[in-house]
Amino acid sequence: MELTIRPLPPFTTKHWRRAYSRFQDSSFSWDEEEILVVIDAHPEPGVILIREEGTVDSPLLRVSWQGPLREEGVRQLVARLLGSNEPVKPFYQKFAKDPVMRSLTEQFAGTRMPRTRSFFEALVTTILEQQVSMKAAATLRERLIQKWSSRKAFFAKKELPAFPHPEDIASCSVDDLCQIGMSRAKARSILQAAQMLQQGKLDTHSLEKEDPQSLIAFLATFPGIGNWSARFIVTRWLGPPDVFACSDLGVRKALGQFYFNGKVPSPAESERFMECFSPWRRLAGFYLLLAYTGGDAT
């Protein structure tokens, strides 16, 4: 089955695909031509294949899929994952007089920050990224998917795993999780979250209705989460436009390079400075990271 989606212009995925090429996994991958996503539908997972065509100012997505997915559901999933309905022109217009941000919006015109398929994926991904390189986090993520994904999709004669359910992890032990190379602290945090989700002590339908700042404060109280991780979880999962982990080291290095004459600001200084980009801190932070990595996030 196929459909055509016309994103809100300007739009492109090429910049984040290039920058995060090392962060692919077997459930969410891409190349120069296509993006392939495994969706954990019922009664079995489905696969969505997205081809970007057209231009930045006249974008077009050719979307095909297989499995128990309905057209409207596919449209909503693509919009969620790629931000194809997210307006960016107001952000560009507001900061057109900032020479640095104007240059970045021209360089990355149409780029949105992609979102995760679920709260659990956002949480696991963020915890795995704590204090390690993107490459190391990607390795851990792929190992976790390969070892604990209980649901598979078949596409082009290949078996593709869906991202694990909380139920897939909840019956593990900390020692089990450590076998793939993560620290005991990360294993404890992921296991606790999986068990709480399985037991209904965390309800994602209720969480997504929370005010973003309240949700960040709530998540930051969990062992192994903290403010930085809470912000990235909410950013990746819900994508509120004014939420970003502004004290992130990558953001701070980018600010040092572009705004602080080479001096890396402290976390508090970074948080204060990024207030000037409100209510668009998510895009501003993402563009700064893309620029700092030079299109090759490691």
Mean pLDDT by 10 residues, the chain (298 residues): 97 95 93 95 95 97 96 97 97 97 97 97 97 92 97 92 97 98 97 97 95 96 94 97 96 96 97 98 97 61
What sign does the dihedral 141-289-193-202 (CA atoms) show? negative
**Cα 152 from Cα 163, distance rounded (Å):** 9
Token pair recorded at residue 36: 């392939």
Q: Domain 2-85 in CATH: superfamily?
A: DNA-3-methyladenine glycosylase AlkA, N-terminal domain (3.30.310.20)
Which H helix or E strand runs over 81? helix 71-82
Stretch(es) of the chain classified as CATH 1.10.340.30: 119-237
Q: In the prediction, which pLDDT does 296 show?
A: 43
220 with 226: CB under 8 angstroms? yes
pLDDT of residue 295: 44
Specify the CATH superfamily of domain 119-237: Hypothetical protein; domain 2 (1.10.340.30)
Find residue 61's DSSP bridge partners. 5, 52
What pLDDT score was predicted for residue 294? Answer: 64
Ranges of CATH 3.30.310.20 domains, the chain: 2-85
* pTM score: 0.95
